[in-house]
């Protein structure tokens, strides 16, 4: 008999959690709770298949009517109330709910079943006519807007409400009397009739069918259709309709409402945690007008209901095997659960709850690993803004590097360095940063830029330094003379500001922060991850300090050392510039000879910090003009310092100018034009390797040639590296094993990876540049339209943060397959920013890479992501938010 | 018995043209001529396999000695001379020669077999001691340099010669007396002995063996090894050694020497054509000191030899079935052929000869088509510098757009336009051009730039206009105030210069040019090409004039109309700028409304010119900042004109600045950010289509969305185009069939071509951008290192001129396969600059494209290349220089 309508109530439901396709997610969950014996207000769900029928034919099977009536009667009986009756009336809610959670469909209709008589009855029952008529007013408005489709410009209701308040000289809705509200209902209905001649349906049954059809129609609404198209949700899925009895927490002092968590969502502590309000409805808790009481106080107020709630929460947690977030109402002493779902939690709580539940025997280690979203770990490792502190938001930018920091605003790298040397905390504020700013960035507590994206210079360097950074804060207008304006305020040099790098917030003044603390359970949890993962995790690090920090986070080697960052400090930049302006090879070699010992000592430090692990060193990559100043004043000053004419230096700078520096004279192209640079770098690497080996350090250098497009470029550079290695080893009478490999960061390299693997002993995918070239998209310029693309669903995510598996990923797969076809045991890794993004790490595992490399603070994230994908491969289902 | 040494002479050779692997190319050809009964000086070839033996073991089989002696004796007998004898001595030449023509091996040694006695004997025989000792001196020098390896810094000879001339107070070598030269020989030998203690070998046999071993060693010379590595020539090939009797054209008035062509190499006219000198050697003809006589005069001087020569040339042409370039010597009345090879010819001659030979029954039409290098056609279509005119070369740049033009130098586009309006011929000289210069470029006779490559803005636009252009002339230093310097000379505004766009020459003054003339045979020849080719050939054209010109050259539609070029003229640029600086959509729409009628009339013109053929229109592509000025003065002027503040305009310009504009906010990204632009362009296209259809024109518009990386971008734009088409058709009550497709110019588009083909009705490969992104190489910046890459063999050719089939081509193949997997009949073409490059056109045929599109003047080239590859596919061997 029950074909289309599925009842739930009084401990029994026609469906359960498995029947999502028929009942939708919401309906299935209501059925599941009911079957568990949880007190849920009774109701019924109309099968999603009818949505298709309705859309196709504009009608529904005639037998549906009788089914709905029969189920409504069951609800009436259980509630002891009658739908449409003035005495003890039954009110219902009507909600949409598809198998897939999907925004854009119909808003919930509450209190359906009201008309003038019913409202009068409720006023009498509650002894509160003002409440009854306010609920009635809201229902008419909601019905008109949502069911009759007046929402938006056509809706007459707000204007009428406003006029009524004006007329009464009051400001707040709640200051209107019951008589005002009653009158307003009449005005609403009259206005409605002017727009829609059939007017507001006084018959509750007509209201119900109107709402049911409105749910079905909402499946074809613009936003819903767009959402499905963008997310590949099939049209034929349809939405179910949920009709459920209303219960009231505001029927007097024996009623109330609340929300609760089965464990502490902030710390993960194993205790019942929540808030409730006596004589109130759910929206009162949310609105924050009254201050709720703690859940423990409920034990005094409603001992029986509280006892039942405790028993219920324990059952629910055991049943769902996860921390639950509950909504409940007590109506005249009777407890009703309105919703249960897996509760949101902080990163720290997620790890603690997972570890505790394993110890409690509730879940397995594997499940624990799959419970924690890798991204959530980020919160654990960085200080946070104290959530209790009041803040004045100046602007929002991109959450470029997590953590929080306060400091005095400075506007040049030199200033940052000098102020910091005086012991001041500073935030470096720049239009955008360049490699010349490194020293100042290192000295600052945090970095704020007005331009640039998640992989801009500021963002990449800050993440590497583990320093908080807000990048691309568009509303920040920087006057580098010494101030910026944002949010209508001006911040001058020396004013305090606070950055929240985890959320991209720029905040006025000095806001207290909370330090990151790693409990023992963190180490235990990460240990489990290491047991199951197959992918190695390395770090990107340019200094011994970074290398040591990353080892602390579990890094198993360095996947990328960028040698150019080493050239910006003190005397180095001077020697570097001498090399660039040199007129001939002899001049360049003279300058390079000065750089050699500095570079060698850098490598000695890094090798020592990574004792026993491989270290991949990328040879000089950026175009040479990045090392020269570009402003006339700076050029003049440098020229004086270097003893050459400003005109000559200006000409050199101009001659190095490039239309598209990203696609210019950089990477191995430099080493090919100036083999003496490659030679110096190779010498520094191998001399350092020989020196630290003599001190008992185990060193495994991997020399990486950047920006290779053809195997001939690689061979050219490889020959130099191997020759120099031979020379150094012969002189030292000692050999150190090493590899020579290449970045795969240009499409052509991936496409000809078979040729390249004939020479390269390892590949490291440079997915930052590979994404730029595959998309033809400069990450420095993408800010103008990329956010809009993501917002509009033209791209599922920023491809510089989350690897584009469909396009860039396909190219990587081609590169891996071709490379391994020639060299079976080719070592393959990734060293772009994606190496620290969970979904990208999982992709790297799936395509058979050996390792990922990421900034030190993301190493734990990558370890967990690697563990999750290994478990997935064994058939475990990943329930964390990352896919 | 003849194992290693292969004799040729007196009408019989041991080998023939087929035995290249053993005899090398040169030896095989000498054998072939001998077998034909052509009088060739006798000699012998030592098999190439001995080269390997010698290199592996440092020695040769002992039996070789006897073989060489025996063959030498045969030569002596035929020549009636004796090797090493003072009386009637035999002198020989020794040459290397591998199966593959290969530079970098040994230079030819002439006059081998001389010592003091032999020299004396020759002096007596010739009655010219000065000549004999000059030959002797040259031989010692050549032997020392080439065989004994002194070439380069170590060589003492030039210094001694110089000293001798100083001492004698003469300037020219030929003013030294016989005694001087004889003394010099002594000094040469003494100097040689100081460097190489074994000294100059007086024994001719020792000289011969020294030279033979030197040939073998030269196989391992640096340049030869590098060449083989770069061109994949196997090491084991080895070089043969050719030893051949010297003959002398300078033994008196009964001797002479000359070169001849079996047809006129300039015009292709069917007549014997050549020059000769009495009593001279080959090098005298080349040196140009004496003026040679025309070949007809030889009939009087040496009637018998002439008759024999005529008979020989006819035989050779019939035998080789191609126009031959002959070298011959008459020694005391006896004719010797020294060489025959297929003669080089102008493009016009190549076509005429091919057509004539078909009519003569010598070759088939297919062979005719395969005889002409498609690139050679370029010469036919453009005026050339008169080859007879003396010139003063100022600089050399890239041959960016062929043809020649003289004009007065101007330095701004405005100047070019104004001077041209006054009827002056001008050459526009710029550091580099930008779209703002279009008007001036159109007005100029030719364009010269100091920067930029073969696909720079100047080059691309000039080729499209069929205007000559020399780009990237590095030695030209432009002062845009009104002069440039080059080659030590300064050219001021108004001075005359001449450009040779076919060779990249910048020439002082006004040099006469020769107009291009197309004979009837050209049309006939191209008709044959059209009969066999399968690939369609379209043109890239932005104006009705270009379109009409291209139709004249045989274009079958337009493959690329760049709409942005249309926005630079007069009022258009003003409206365009208004749109760019507009603060909102309404402002943009207002400006776009002004552009609509202009754009519509452009399309009407183009559609009419291409009546009956498809026209592919690319929507707006370049970043918006290209339409704005960048210098402070220009900005101030424009701001005034537009009635906005200079500060505001400066800010707009700055906000549009991009770090890498090539990878920035352009292509469909503009149309997505500002859908109103796409809408206006679509409206202009369809309104134009409807209007011209009403006039009886058949129009097939193909709307092309540029820079698509994801199918969602394409769908977004496609929806706008189809909606506007529907609106226009509904209003006009007329439908015009059209297609919507996309450029495939980003790697991601090729990699996801299956998704894209779900929406796109055609693909057009934009190989300029695809090459840039696949290589990660900006064509504007590549000039700094790309020429070096090509020179060093790191790349086989400039990938912007010749499609990189290995990398970019693989990506194209992926894109084609994926696209056709979804849409079987997907129309696929190419519209990058490669569409006019023969090897790239052939690639396009092989991968199954439907058409190529190129600039109007390259249409015939593409037609011929398409014919050649179609013939190749049928098994015909392509002998033209393009592979």
Among A776, A791, A795, which would you mutate to test the B interface (most chain B Cβ atoms within 10 Å of its Cβ)? A776
A150-154, A381-385, B503-507: least confident range: A150-154
**Residues A99, A97: Cα–Cα separation, whole Å:** 7
**Residues B768, B830: Cα–Cα separation, whole Å:** 10
**Residues A518, B393: Cα–Cα separation, whole Å:** 76
**Residues B343, B792: Cα–Cα separation, whole Å:** 29
Tokens of B3: 């194992």
pLDDT at B353: 95
Q: Which of residues 693-712 of A touch B (CB under 8 A)?
A: 707, 709-710, 712
Query: Is A775 within 8 Å of B709 when comparing Cβ atoms?
Result: yes
Express each pLDDT in B45-61 by its tens digit. Answer: 999 999 989 998 989 99
pLDDT at A874: 92
pLDDT at B790: 86
DSSP assignment of B290-339, as one string? SPPEEHHHHHHH-HHHHHHHHHHHHHHHHHHTS-EEEEEEEETTEEEEEE
Maximum Cα–Cα distance across chain B: 102
Which helix (DSSP H) or strand (DSSP E) does residue B840 occupy?
Answer: helix B838-846
pLDDT at B883: 31
Of A659, A707, A755, the CB nearest to B778: A659
Q: Does the beta carbon of B65 lie under 8 angstroms from any beta carbon of chain A?
A: no
Angle between helices A116-126 and A178-195 (to 10 degrees): 160
Which residue did the predictor score with more confidence, A26 or A737? A737
How much is the mean pLDDT over chain B?
91
pLDDT at A692 over 80: yes
Using an 8 Å CB-CB cutoff, list chain A residues near B658. Answer: 778, 780-781
A157-171, A277-291, B115-129, B700-714: least confident range: A277-291
**Residues A38, A315: Cα–Cα separation, whole Å:** 9
pLDDT at B881: 42
Q: What angle do CA B445, B450, B451 make, to 5 degrees?
A: 115
pLDDT at A2: 52
Of A659, A773, A788, the CB nearest to B776: A773
- Indicate the pLDDT class of residue A312, thresholds 50, 70 and 90: very high
Express each pLDDT in A565-619 by its tens digit. Answer: 788 877 888 899 999 988 888 999 999 999 999 999 999 999 999 999 999 999 9
Of B659, B751, B776, the CB nearest to A781: B659
pLDDT at B323: 93
Catalytic residue among B468, B469, B668, B831: B831
The predicted model gives B730-748 an average pLDDT of 97
Express each pLDDT in A398-444 by its tens digit. Answer: 888 888 999 999 999 999 989 998 889 999 999 988 877 888 898 89
Q: Does the beta carbon of A664 lie under 8 angstroms from any beta carbon of chain B?
A: yes
pLDDT at B669: 96
Q: Give CA separation, A144 vs A140, A154, A587, B412, B499, in Å.
A: 6, 10, 82, 67, 78
**Residues B320, A616: Cα–Cα separation, whole Å:** 60
Q: Does the beta carbon of B449 lie under 8 angstroms from any beta carbon of chain A?
A: no
- Indicate the pLDDT class of residue B879, thresholds 50, 70 and 90: low
The predicted model gives B611-637 an average pLDDT of 92
DSSP assignment of B209-236, as one string? HHHHHHHHHHTTSHHHHHHHHHHT--GG
Of B594, B592, B637, residue with least CA distance to B619? B592
The predicted model gives A765-789 an average pLDDT of 92
pLDDT at A1: 46
Q: Give CA separation, B630 vs A299, B58, B652, in Å.
A: 74, 68, 11
Burial class (CB in 10 A: 0-12, 13-18, 19+), A792: middle
pLDDT at A34: 95
Of B658, B660, B710, the CB nearest to A794: B710
Using an 8 Å CB-CB cutoff, list chain A residues near B777. Answer: 663, 709
Which residue did the predictor score with more confidence, A249 or A710? A710
The shortest C-alpha distance from A785 to chain B (Å) reads: 7
Q: Is the dihedral of CA A702, A707, A711, A714 positive or negative?
A: negative
B879: Cβ–Cβ under 8 A, 6 or more apart, which residues?
Answer: B370, B371
Of A785, A793, A811, the CB nearest to B673: A785
Residue listed under structure tokens 């098994």: B875
Closest-approach residue (CA) in chain A for B772: A663
Contact B756, B819 (CB under 8 A): yes
Query: Would you call B457 a catalytic residue per the annotation?
Result: yes
- Spell out a b/e string for B532-566, using b for 16 or more CB atoms within 10 Å of the CB, else e: bbebbbbbbbbbbbbbbbbbebbbbbbbbbbbbbb
Q: Does the beta carbon of B227 lie under 8 angstroms from any beta carbon of chain A?
A: no
Express each pLDDT in B435-478 by its tens digit. Answer: 778 888 988 999 999 987 776 778 878 877 778 999 989 889 99
Neighbours of B846 (CB within 10 A): 15
Q: Does the beta carbon of B794 lie under 8 angstroms from any beta carbon of chain A?
A: yes
pLDDT at A881: 42
Neighbours of A154 (CB within 10 A): 12
Q: Does the beta carbon of A574 lie under 8 angstroms from any beta carbon of chain B?
A: no
Query: Is B663 within 8 Å of A777 when comparing Cβ atoms?
Result: yes
Long-range contacts formed by A70-74: CB under 8 A, 24+ apart: A70/A5, A71/A5, A71/A7, A71/A44, A71/A243, A72/A44, A72/A208, A72/A243, A74/A7, A74/A9, A74/A42, A74/A44
Query: Chain A to chain B, count of Cβ pairs less than 8 Å apart?
Result: 157
The predicted model gives B200-217 an average pLDDT of 95
Closest-approach residue (CA) in chain A for B804: A748
Residue listed under structure tokens 């004009």: B407
The predicted model gives B128-132 an average pLDDT of 87
How many percent of chain B have pLDDT more than 90?
63
pLDDT at B330 over 90: yes
B222: Cβ–Cβ under 8 A, 6 or more apart, which residues?
Answer: B104
Q: Does the beta carbon of B661 lie under 8 angstroms from any beta carbon of chain A?
A: yes
- Indicate the pLDDT class of residue A250, thresholds 50, 70 and 90: confident
How many percent of chain B have pLDDT more than 70?
98
Query: Would you call B831 a catalytic residue per the annotation?
Result: yes
Express each pLDDT in B439-451 by its tens digit. Answer: 889 889 999 999 8
Query: Is B709 within 8 Å of A777 when comparing Cβ atoms?
Result: yes
Using an 8 Å CB-CB cutoff, list chain B residues near A621. Answer: none
Using an 8 Å CB-CB cutoff, list chain B residues near A751. Answer: 774, 807, 810-811
The predicted model gives A642-658 an average pLDDT of 88
Query: Is A672 within 8 Å of B785 when comparing Cβ atoms?
Result: yes
Contact A628, A577 (CB under 8 A): yes
pLDDT at B138 over 70: yes
The predicted model gives A849-860 an average pLDDT of 95
Neighbours of B879 (CB within 10 A): 13
**Residues A278, A295: Cα–Cα separation, whole Å:** 11
pLDDT at B137: 93
pLDDT at B882: 35
pLDDT at A380: 82
Strand B273-278 relative to strand A477-479, pairing: unpaired
Distance of CA A260 to the CA centre of its chain: 25
Q: Does the beta carbon of B247 lie under 8 angstroms from any beta carbon of chain A?
A: no
Express each pLDDT in B50-98 by its tens digit. Answer: 998 999 898 999 999 999 999 999 999 999 999 999 999 999 999 999 9
- Indicate the pLDDT class of residue B1, thresholds 50, 70 and 90: very low
Contact B544, B605 (CB under 8 A): yes
Q: Which of residues 752-781 of A touch B (CB under 8 A)?
A: 752, 755, 769, 772-778, 780-781
Neighbours of B630 (CB within 10 A): 15
- Indicate the pLDDT class of residue B287, thresholds 50, 70 and 90: low
pLDDT at B286: 55
A612-616, B329-333, B722-726: least confident range: B329-333
Query: Is B807 within 8 Å of A751 when comparing Cβ atoms?
Result: yes
pLDDT at A694 over 80: yes
Express each pLDDT in B780-817 by its tens digit. Answer: 888 888 888 988 889 989 999 999 999 999 999 999 99
pLDDT at A741: 98
pLDDT at A225 over 90: no
Query: Catalytic residue positions of A?
Result: 457, 831
Q: State pTM to two decimals.
A: 0.81
The predicted model gives B27-31 an average pLDDT of 92
Using an 8 Å CB-CB cutoff, list chain A residues near B748. Answer: 774-776, 804, 807-808
Of A701, A713, A596, A724, residue with least CA distance to A666? A713
Tokens of B526: 């191209």
Tokens of A523: 């180490």
pLDDT at A106 over 80: no
pLDDT at B774 over 80: yes
Neighbours of A286 (CB within 10 A): 9
Angle between helices A585-609 and A675-694 (to 10 degrees): 30
Of B713, B781, B793, the CB nearest to A663: B781
**Residues A662, A820: Cα–Cα separation, whole Å:** 29
pLDDT at B674 over 90: yes
3-state secondary structure A498-532: EEECCCCEEEECCCCEECCCCCHHHHHHHHHHHHH
pLDDT at A340: 86
Tokens of B309: 């020569």
**Residues B14, B17: Cα–Cα separation, whole Å:** 11
Q: Give CA separation, B232 vs A716, B808, B810, in Å.
A: 16, 21, 20
The predicted model gives B269-282 an average pLDDT of 86
Of A601, A604, A602, residue with least CA distance to A692? A604
**Residues A603, A684: Cα–Cα separation, whole Å:** 7
Query: Is A712 within 8 Å of B746 when comparing Cβ atoms?
Result: no
Distance of CA B803 to the CA centre of its chain: 14
pLDDT at A607: 97
Neighbours of B654 (CB within 10 A): 11
Express each pLDDT in A195-219 by its tens digit. Answer: 889 999 999 999 999 999 999 999 9
The shortest C-alpha distance from A677 to chain B (Å) reads: 16
Query: Is A747 within 8 Å of B661 when comparing Cβ atoms?
Result: no
Contact A716, A764 (CB under 8 A): no
The predicted model gives A59-66 an average pLDDT of 92
pLDDT at A880: 53
Q: Does the beta carbon of B785 lie under 8 angstroms from any beta carbon of chain A?
A: yes
Of A662, A665, A748, the CB nearest to B775: A748
């Amino acid at each position: 008999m029950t074909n289309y309508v599925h009842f739930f109530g009084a401990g029994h439901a026609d469906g359960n959690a498995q029947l999502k396709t028929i009942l939708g997610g919401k309906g299935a969950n209501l059925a599941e709770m009911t079957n568990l014996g949880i007190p849920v207000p009774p109701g019924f769900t109309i099968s999603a298949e009818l949505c298709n029928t309705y859309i196709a034919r504009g009608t529904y099977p005639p037998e549906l009517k009788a089914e709905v009536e029969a189920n409504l009667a069951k609800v009436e009986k259980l509630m002891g109330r009658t739908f449409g009756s003035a005495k003890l009336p039954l009110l219902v809610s009507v909600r949409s709910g598809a198998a897939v959670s999907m925004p854009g469909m119909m808003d919930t209709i509450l209190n359906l079943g009201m008309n003038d008589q019913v409202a009068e009855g409720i006023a009498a029952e509650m002894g509160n006519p003002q409440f009854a008529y306010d609920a009635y007013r809201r229902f008419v408005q909601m019905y008109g807007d949502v069911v009759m489709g007046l929402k938006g410009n056509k809706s007459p209701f707000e204007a009428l409400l406003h006029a009524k308040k004006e007329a009464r000289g009051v400001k707040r809705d709640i200051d209107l009397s019951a008589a005002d509200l009653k009158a307003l209902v009449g005005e609403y209905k009259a206005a409605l009739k002017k727009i829609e001649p059939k007017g507001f349906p006084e018959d509750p049954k007509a209201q119900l069918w109107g709402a049911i059809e409105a749910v079905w129609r909402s499946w074809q609404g613009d936003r819903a259709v767009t959402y499905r198209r963008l997310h590949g949700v099939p049209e034929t899925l349809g939405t179910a309709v949920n009709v459920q009895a209303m219960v009231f927490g505001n029927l007097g002092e024996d009623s109330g409402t609340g929300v609760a968590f089965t464990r502490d969502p902030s710390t993960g502590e194993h205790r019942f945690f929540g808030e409730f309000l006596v004589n109130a409805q759910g929206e009162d808790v949310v609105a924050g007008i009254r201050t709720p009481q703690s859940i423990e106080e409920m034990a005094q107020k409603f001992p029986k209901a509280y006892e039942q709630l405790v028993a219920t929460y324990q059952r629910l947690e055991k049943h769902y095997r996860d921390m639950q977030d509950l909504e409940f109402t007590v109506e005249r002493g009777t407890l009703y659960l309105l919703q249960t779902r897996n509760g949101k939690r902080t990163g720290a709580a997620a790890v603690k709850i997972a570890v505790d539940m394993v110890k409690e025997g509730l879940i397995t280690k594997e499940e624990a690993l799959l419970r924690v979203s890798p991204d959530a770990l980020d919160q654990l490792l960085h200080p946070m803004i104290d959530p209790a502190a009041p803040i004045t938001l100046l602007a929002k930018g991109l959450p470029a590097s997590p953590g929080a920091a306060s400091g005095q605003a400075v506007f040049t790298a030199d200033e940052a360095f000098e102020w910091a040397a005086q012991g001041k905390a500073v935030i470096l504020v720049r239009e955008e940063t360049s490699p010349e700013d490194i020293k100042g960035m290192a000295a600052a507590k945090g970095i704020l830029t007005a331009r640039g994206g998640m992989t801009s210079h500021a963002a990449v360097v800050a993440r590497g330094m583990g320093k908080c950074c807000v990048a691309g804060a568009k509303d920040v207008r920087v006057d580098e003379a010494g101030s910026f304006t944002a949010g209508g305020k001006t911040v001058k040099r020396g004013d305090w500001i606070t950055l929240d790098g985890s959320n991209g917030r720029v905040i006025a003044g000095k806001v207290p922060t909370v330090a990151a603390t790693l409990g023992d359970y963190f180490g235990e949890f990460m240990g489990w991850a290491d047991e199951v993962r197959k992918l190695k995790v390395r770090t990107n690090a340019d200094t011994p300090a970074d290398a040591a920090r990353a080892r602390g986070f579990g890094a198993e080697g360095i996947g990328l050392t960028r040698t150019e960052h080493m050239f910006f400090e003190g005397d180095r930049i001077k020697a570097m510039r001498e090399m660039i302006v040199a007129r001939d090879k002899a001049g360049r070699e003279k300058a390079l000879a000065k750089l050699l010992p500095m570079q060698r000592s850098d490598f000695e430090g890094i090798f020592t910090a990574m004792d026993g692990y491989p270290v991949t060193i990328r040879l000089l990559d950026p175009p040479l003009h990045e090392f020269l100043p570009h402003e006339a004043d700076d050029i003049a000053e440098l020229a004086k310092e270097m003893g050459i004419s400003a005109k000559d230096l200006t000409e050199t700078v101009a001659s190095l100018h490039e239309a598209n520096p990203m696609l210019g004279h950089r990477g191995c192209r430099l080493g090919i034009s100036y083999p003496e640079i490659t030679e110096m770098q190779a010498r520094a690497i191998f001399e350092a390797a020989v020196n630290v080996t003599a001190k008992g350090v185990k060193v495994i250098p991997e020399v990486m040639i950047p920006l290779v497009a053809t195997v001939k470029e690689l061979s050219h550079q490889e020959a130099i590296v191997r020759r120099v290695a031979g020379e150094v080893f012969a002189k030292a009478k000692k050999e150190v094993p090493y590899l020579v490999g290449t970045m795969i960061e240009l499409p052509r390299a991936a496409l000809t990876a078979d040729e390249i693997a004939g020479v390269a002993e390892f590949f490291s995918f440079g997915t930052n540049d590979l994404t730029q070239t595959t998309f033809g998209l400069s990450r420095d310029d993408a800010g103008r339209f990329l956010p809009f693309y993501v917002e509009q669903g033209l791209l599922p995510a920023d491809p510089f943060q989350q690897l584009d598996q469909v396009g860039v990923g396909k190219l990587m797969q081609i590169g891996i397959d071709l490379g391994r076809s020639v060299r079976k045991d080719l070592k393959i890794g990734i060293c772009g920013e994606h190496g620290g993004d969970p979904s990208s790490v999982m992709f790297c595992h799936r395509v058979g890479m050996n390792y990922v490399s990421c900034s030190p603070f993301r190493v734990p994230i990558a370890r967990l992501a690697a563990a999750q994908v290994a478990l997935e491969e064994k058939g475990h289902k990943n329930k964390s938010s990352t896919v």
